[in-house]
Amino acid sequence: SGHTTPRLGIDLAGGTSITLEAQNQPGKPNAINQTNMDTAVGIIERRVNGLGVSEAEVQTQGNKNIIVNIPKGTNSKQAQEQVGTTAQLYFRPVLTVQASGPEAPKPSDSASPSASGTPKPGESAQGEDKATDEDKPQGEEATGSEATPSASATTQGRAVTGALTKDDPTPGASDKPKASDSPEASPSADPATAKLQEEFTKLDCTDPKQRTDAGKNAKPTDSIVACGSNVPGSYEKYILGPAEVSGADVDDAKGAIDQQSGEWIVSMEFTSAGAKKFQTITGRLAQQQPPMNQFAIVLDGEVVSAPSVRQALSKNAQISGSFDQQSAEDLGNILSYGALPLTFKEVSVTTVTAALGSEQLQAGLIAGAIGLALVIIYLVVYYRGLAFIALLSLLVSGILTYTIMSLLGPAIGFALNLPAVCGAIVAIGIT
């Protein structure tokens, strides 16, 4: 349906019914409660409505299930993909990055992103990403600078060990490791660091299951291993520090076109508290050497983007990478309405037919036609020649009502259901 026909509700058009089941989370035995379930219902409703899907129904069933009914039509597929997405967003500092799998090309040590945002032939996957402060002039933009995944395991181990044992990193800290800073340090010196190194070594990001499970169920305060991809078929694996900024610090996000590169990006605006945190972390990272001058934008355990930082950024930022219009707008929509307080598993997806609604609609239209015929007969008998004017009035009213319903669909998401059909018939009749 579009501008010429009314958009139909789920009882007339059919649609999809999705059952989501809340999952128990490690260390949070009481997370599944009525408050969190109600919060999840509200967030899912806002996500679906934000896509322009009308007449969607979101309601709880029992103690841990949520039923989502989505009418067939505009953006219904995107809505189905987004309803159960947890959308836990964190900004984590990068400690180590390395190409993962035989499909990933080795980046050039001298590559740097072009001004237009189009990667050069030898540029690494990280070269596509950039963090920008929209409040700054173009000359102050912080552009991506590649990480060096070819560093030796010993060097990486020392970097990770040093980063994990820092008690209070400050923006003024030196960005170059000193020769006297534990030259004999070993990744195995700290059990937590040794475990991370072991996980990092074993992680194969070309395996879809390993990509999904790598950062799953990690606490914000934990250092983690995670996967990311900026070029289709090419993957990077990361060791990331504890989260310093979360999705709760994002006030607004939306997909947009970068005016300089012409590529799709996700533009974010932080809250006041989030802006301070973001400025602190970017100010500190700007003084580090690659790859520790990068921060990873992690969504549900996977690295969406890992831009380098060359200066402190403030309230506005951008996520750039391999986005098309739909993926940029979808991510912006998810971030705008926040993360779900619980993790949900999609238990069932059922197609809802419009058979019952169609039968009732057909019966209603037949009854309406009979009523209209009786009205016409009465007008002709009673008014004779003047009946033409009355019938013309009914015709004009019917055309206006139909046109308004057709235009309200794309304008405000109005969907025509059975009660609306009854109302339209009554509205035309009383004219």
The answer to whether residues 111 and 128 touch, using CB atoms and an 8 Å cutoff, is no
The encoded tokens of residue 64 equal: 């841990």
Q: Is the pLDDT of residue 291 over 70?
A: yes
Determine the pLDDT at residue 153: 37
Determine the pLDDT at residue 111: 32
Determine the pLDDT at residue 116: 34
**Counting every residue, how long is the chain?**
431
pLDDT digits (tens, 9 = 90+) for 336-347: 877 788 888 888
pLDDT digits (tens, 9 = 90+) for 135-149: 443 333 343 333 333
Determine the pLDDT at residue 356: 61
Q: Is the pLDDT of residue 154 over 70?
A: no
Average pLDDT over residues 56-68: 88
Determine the pLDDT at residue 92: 93
pLDDT band at 162 (very low <50, low <70, confident <90, very high): very low
Please state, in angstroms and rounded to a whole number, the distance separating the CA atoms of residues 320 and 359. 49
Determine the pLDDT at residue 190: 56
Q: Is the pLDDT of residue 179 over 80?
A: no
Between strands 57-61 and 65-71, the pairing is: antiparallel
Determine the pLDDT at residue 20: 92
Q: Return the domain boundaries, the chain.
A: 10-85+345-352, 89-330, 355-429
Q: Is the pLDDT of residue 93 over 90?
A: yes
Q: Is the pLDDT of residue 243 over 90?
A: yes
Q: What percent of the chain has pLDDT over 70?
A: 74
Least confident residue range of 12-16, 60-64, 173-177, 404-408 = 173-177
Report residue 320: phi and psi, to 5°. -120, 155
Least confident residue range of 63-67, 97-101, 107-111, 413-417 = 107-111
Residue 261 or residue 117, greater confidence: 261
Average pLDDT over residues 227-245: 87
Q: Residue with structure tokens 């590649």?
A: 146
pLDDT band at 314 (very low <50, low <70, confident <90, very high): confident
pLDDT digits (tens, 9 = 90+) for 102-122: 544 443 333 333 333 333 333
Determine the pLDDT at residue 37: 92
pLDDT band at 227 (very low <50, low <70, confident <90, very high): very high
Please state, in angstroms and rounded to a whole number, the distance separating the CA atoms of residues 84 and 240. 25
CA angle (121 as vertex; 115, 124 as ends), nearest 5: 80
For domain 10-85+345-352, the CATH architecture is 2-Layer Sandwich (3.30)
Which residues does 159 contact at the CB level (< 8 Å), separation at least 6?
95, 96, 151, 177, 292
Determine the pLDDT at residue 24: 84
Q: Of 312, 313, 329, 315, which Cα lies nearest the Cα of 266?
A: 329
